[in-house]
Chain A
């Protein structure tokens, strides 16, 4: 690590994930998230963004498995921890917000109870105290009439409200890292802005680092300090957000930016498709361990897979 940067809260080193021990899904991804920073991961569907997030939490499902690399979370090597230790970290030190607020809440338990469970499990509180803290948590995510809403069931809330509840649950124990996997994709645009602002505000106030997984470049541009672009299981480019949007270095990034829908560009032929790449930066040439956060591009090689 370099001298002028604080120690990262999460350091992903050459992470490799395979499916059924044969198909490589992630070809060695490395990036750091600094304390309090919002780091964006963009890329098209299937590029490995969500899988990276799940691997950090230790929740990859068979046949997916990590088969190389290392994950450092505050100087602890996550992959060497026991299942029990990793479970203790989940929800307490690192939390996740899902894409689908409609299914991510237990339909048979009240909102208040579900948030209170976080305090009971991770803080060992009694139910009465946990319930009071849950109402407080609902208030923090700007849910109107929190006392009343704590007694409501998930189906009585709108999508935006549910996502706020999810955020309240995720941030209940003041984690160091929040993994937000497309947190606003299922919401409509006006609600989206509010939820994003909420995440940004709360995390800034608590100094929580955020790993924001999204395919929405607009969201990324608004939220993140730094962005990593993923393509077919490789991190092809990593830059400060402003630099990335102003001067995308990798052709895939350029293609991704060019593929953004824009108002008034419906005339056929003017809006290009996402450019197909037949080349990709090899993992070994990227020199990610160099003491700079801007990754220089290495020579490209033909894609074989």
Chain B
């Protein structure tokens, strides 16, 4: 019952973020970049501005809505890249073993040893700021857990009777990995993926906060926080609301991932059946 509640809460939070991102052009009362009015800067929430205005008089609510687009796009797309890389490497390493396994394992350990944010920072420094390079930087630096999970699940699966049976039935290696192993590891990979979306959103915020994520006039939750840093005493709402948005979205994805894990757990499934 409690698990169900967590999962539902996660789903609601994530769906809210998605609706905000997709509906930003209709929901936002102001343009997030152009409607700057220094005369009405640092207005507190209320009146015409639901969440107040920031240092340049831009509507915080509108910017949070448009920022959701960036955050979700970065979170989802970079995590999809991560999951694909991690699954492909992990499954092939576990399945074939030998030198390929050693190589992938070594690579995974290297990735785990370097803090992924530092690595992403280095990639961003090379590629320069902007959305595409952000996707690449975050998509290439966070696949090690997926790879680990995929590899260990594959190791235990490949000695299962049905994989053996598929081999006697003349399935090729690729076919076995695709039809026998992949569906069986999809659960854990999916769970790791949803959890990873949360951390990718945080990483985006961190990079933008540091000034090398999304280029400034375009709003992202991270660079909104960064801009609001100096106003924290005079206009705290400019920092609080993007912060709350990050918090709610990351919490939503984590609850979703947790709930998914519990729902995919075979023990839970048998209890229901």
Contact-residue size bin, chain A (C-beta under 8 Å from the other chain)? 20 to 34
Q: Which residues of B contact A166 (CB under 8 A)?
A: 165
Most chain A beta-carbon contacts within 10 A, residue among B179, B183, B184: B179
Q: Is the CB of A90 within 8 A of B184?
A: no
CA distance A169 to B171 in the complex (A): 13
CB proximity of B164 to chain A, nearest CB, Å: 7
Q: Is the CB of A59 within 8 A of B170?
A: no
CA distance A100 to B168 in the complex (A): 14
* Residue A73 is within 8 A (CB to CB) of chain B in the complex: no
User: What residue of chain A has the Cβ atom nearest to residue B273's Cβ?
Assistant: A155
Q: Is the CB of B170 within 8 A of A92?
A: yes
User: What residue of chain B has the Cβ atom nearest to residue A156's Cβ?
Assistant: B273
B168: contacting residue among A95, A106, A121, CB under 8 A: A95
Q: Is the CB of A89 within 8 A of B170?
A: yes
Known A-B contacts A106-B180, A108-B184, A109-B179; the reply to A90 vs B160 at CB < 8 A is no
* Residue A118 is within 8 A (CB to CB) of chain B in the complex: yes
CB proximity of A53 to chain B, nearest CB, Å: 10
B179: contacting residue among A87, A92, A104, A106, CB under 8 A: A106
* Residue A88 is within 8 A (CB to CB) of chain B in the complex: yes
CB proximity of B158 to chain A, nearest CB, Å: 10
A104: contacting residue among B165, B172, B175, CB under 8 A: B165
* Residue B229 is within 8 A (CB to CB) of chain A in the complex: no
The 0/1 profile, CB within 8 Å of B marked 1, for residues 87-119 of chain A is 111111001101010111111110000000110
User: What residue of chain B has the Cβ atom nearest to residue A88's Cβ?
Assistant: B170
Q: Which residues of B contact A105 (CB under 8 A)?
A: 161-162, 165
* Residue B4 is within 8 A (CB to CB) of chain A in the complex: no
CA distance A57 to B160 in the complex (A): 18
* Residue B1 is within 8 A (CB to CB) of chain A in the complex: no
* Residue A122 is within 8 A (CB to CB) of chain B in the complex: yes
Known A-B contacts A100-B161, A103-B162; the reply to A57 vs B180 at CB < 8 A is no
Q: Is the CB of A98 within 8 A of B172?
A: no
Q: Which residues of A contact B160 (CB under 8 A)?
A: 103
Q: Is the CB of A106 within 8 A of B170?
A: no
User: What residue of chain A has the Cβ atom nearest to residue B183's Cβ?
Assistant: A108
CB proximity of B153 to chain A, nearest CB, Å: 13
Known A-B contacts A106-B183, A106-B184; the reply to A98 vs B165 at CB < 8 A is yes
Most chain A beta-carbon contacts within 10 A, residue among B162, B169, B180: B169
Q: Is the CB of B162 within 8 A of A87?
A: no
Q: Is the CB of B167 within 8 A of A98?
A: no
Q: Is the CB of B183 within 8 A of A91?
A: no
Known A-B contacts A106-B184, A108-B184; the reply to A98 vs B169 at CB < 8 A is no
CB proximity of A156 to chain B, nearest CB, Å: 10
B162: contacting residue among A88, A89, A106, CB under 8 A: A106
CB proximity of A135 to chain B, nearest CB, Å: 18
Q: Is the CB of B170 within 8 A of A121?
A: yes
CA distance A186 to B183 in the complex (A): 27
Q: Which residues of B contact A100 (CB under 8 A)?
A: 161
B184: contacting residue among A107, A117, A118, CB under 8 A: A107
Q: Which residues of B contact A88 (CB under 8 A)?
A: 170
CA distance A105 to B160 in the complex (A): 9
User: Which B161-219 residues have a C-beta within 8 angstroms of A?
Assistant: 161-162, 164-172, 175, 179-180, 183-184
User: Which A60-107 residues have a C-beta within 8 angstroms of B?
Assistant: 87-92, 95-96, 98, 100, 102-107
CB proximity of B133 to chain A, nearest CB, Å: 38
A98: contacting residue among B164, B170, B179, B180, CB under 8 A: B164
CA distance A118 to B164 in the complex (A): 15
CA distance A108 to B264 in the complex (A): 12
Q: Which residues of A contact B184 (CB under 8 A)?
A: 106-108
CA distance A102 to B171 in the complex (A): 20
Q: Which residues of A contact B183 (CB under 8 A)?
A: 106, 108-109
Known A-B contacts A100-B161, A103-B162; the reply to A122 vs B170 at CB < 8 A is yes
Q: Is the CB of B180 within 8 A of A95?
A: no
Known A-B contacts A106-B180, A107-B184, A108-B184; the reply to A59 vs B168 at CB < 8 A is yes
CB proximity of A232 to chain B, nearest CB, Å: 25
Q: Which residues of A contact B172 (CB under 8 A)?
A: 87
Q: Is the CB of B164 within 8 A of A104?
A: yes
Most chain B beta-carbon contacts within 10 A, residue among A57, A102, A117, A122: A117
Q: Which residues of B contact A121 (CB under 8 A)?
A: 169-171, 175
CA distance A118 to B170 in the complex (A): 8
Q: Is the CB of A59 within 8 A of B167?
A: yes
Q: Is the CB of A98 within 8 A of B161?
A: yes
CA distance A43 to B188 in the complex (A): 43
Q: Which residues of A contact B165 (CB under 8 A)?
A: 96, 98, 104-105, 166, 169
Q: Which residues of A contact B179 (CB under 8 A)?
A: 106, 109, 117
Given A92-B170, A106-B162, A117-B169, 11 further pairs, Cβ under 8 A: A57-B168, A59-B168, A90-B169, A95-B169, A100-B161, A102-B161, A106-B183, A122-B170, A169-B165, A169-B169, A170-B169
What are the 3 A-B residue pairs with the smallest beta carbon separation, nearest first?
A: A91-B170, A103-B161, A91-B169
CB within 8 Å of B: which residues of A?
57, 59, 87-92, 95-96, 98, 100, 102-109, 117-118, 121-122, 166, 169-170
